[in-house]
Amino acid sequence: MPATAAPAADPTPRAALHRLLRRMPKAELHIHIEGSLEPELIFALAARNGVPLAYPSVQALRAAYAFSDLQSFLDIYYAGASVLQTEADFHDLAWAYLERAAADRVVHAEIFFDPQTHTDRGVPMAAVITGLARACRRAEAELGLSARLILCFLRHLSEEAAFATLEAALPLREHFIGVGLDSSERGHPPEKFERVFARARELGLHGVAHAGEEGPPAYIESALDRLQVERIDHGVRCLESPALVQRLAARRMPLTVCPLSNVKLCVFGSMAEHNLPALLAAGLCATVNSDDPAYFGGYLNDNLVAAFDALPQLGRDQAYALAKNSFEASFATAADRARWTAQLDAAFAAE
């Protein structure tokens, strides 16, 4: 460029906002590791393990990712997970996610895994947990990203199966920090798992649950009252109950919101209709997360950019609030949360 050339035009406010969203440090609190299994890795692991696939190519598999609701997604998601068999597979899966997360400036991740999806196929619990835990340790050492695991119970299965899963995981207790509840929400209210969450609490585990994704506000109430959870995963239907919103806001009860997931699973007709701005305006501790990024079209920064592009009520203040909430809502130590929040303040001061 000649020395006399005019400097590049100032970035548009939109470009500056995108840069801030991408560069700000953040925590991811709602990511199913099996939902980060990209089609390319499904094919690689199928070849490695000799697993036959129902689709002839990566493109054909990706083309099948058109969902009408949560169940239509879960059917494909559980089928995809069948290629995961060995400790190395679980390590490789989690490592791929963690590298991707670090590129999105995720400094802390609390990662869900669904052991029953694997143990019910004969995969040893130890292969699942030690493989994931090895990737988490590696992320801390090589990426400076702190990563923790949350064991989720599949709510379409029985309470008895959830108890057996928790007991089977106990020899590996040091590798996970909490329990969660996921899978088909409708018809499987939180109270079905009241006793297993009480047992997990006795063991010093944190508790979170999916509620109010497709299910009604009453499921969110039940997750609070009967499971005594510390975060609600999704929770977007809380706005149907003003009394519940007041309760969630007063307690600063975090909601781990997943915008692209909600659009792909038809919880909202379009991103422009998403209620994230209303959740924030109501004073709720909302965070943005990717849920199942390999299936829903994007990782954490893709979710932020898609939401901010479609929703003009979201700007710099909301970007700051979402990242700050993500640290506040995490199960990290107070010292780590304060350090990341200071890094967030520095990122905003620099822009």
* Nearest Cα residue to 279 out of 311, 319, 249: 249
Note whether 273 and 311 are within 8 A (CB).
no
The single-letter code of the amino acid at 114 is D
Report d(CA 278, CA 341) in Å as an integer.
24
Select from 28, 110, 214, 291 the one that contacts Zn ion (CB under 5 A).
Answer: 291
Binding partner of 279, given Zn ion, ligand ADE, none, CB within 5-8 angstroms per partner class: none
- Total of chain residues touching Zn ion, rule CB under 5 A: 1
Note whether 268 and 276 are within 8 A (CB).
no
Parallel, antiparallel or unpaired: strands 26-32 and 106-113: parallel
Active-site residue, selected from the candidate residues 87, 110, 213, 214: 213
* Torsion, CA 18, CA 19, CA 20, CA 22, rounded to 10: 80
User: Site mask, ligand ADE, residues 265-304, x = CB under 6 A?
Assistant: --------------------------xx------------
Q: What is the CB neighbour count within 10 angstroms for residue 336?
A: 15
Instruction: Tell me the Cα Rg of the chain.
Output: 20
| Pick 85 or 222: Cβ nearer Zn ion | 222
Q: Least distance to Zn ion from the beta carbon of 191, Å?
A: 20
223 lines the binding site for ligand ADE (CB under 6 A): no
Binding partner of 39, given Zn ion, ligand ADE, none, CB within 5-8 angstroms per partner class: none
**Tokens standing for residue 245:** 């919103």
Q: Least distance to Zn ion from the beta carbon of 210, Å?
A: 6
> Among the candidate windows 21-29, 154-162, 184-192, 289-297, which touches Zn ion by CB under 5 A?
289-297
213 a catalytic residue: yes
**Tokens standing for residue 298:** 């994007």
- Total of chain residues touching ligand ADE, rule CB under 6 A: 10
Select from 18, 26, 32, 100 the one that contacts ligand ADE (CB under 6 A).
Answer: 32
Residues in contact with ligand ADE by the rule CB under 6 A = 32, 35, 70, 182-183, 210, 213, 261, 291-292
So which residues are the catalytic ones? 213
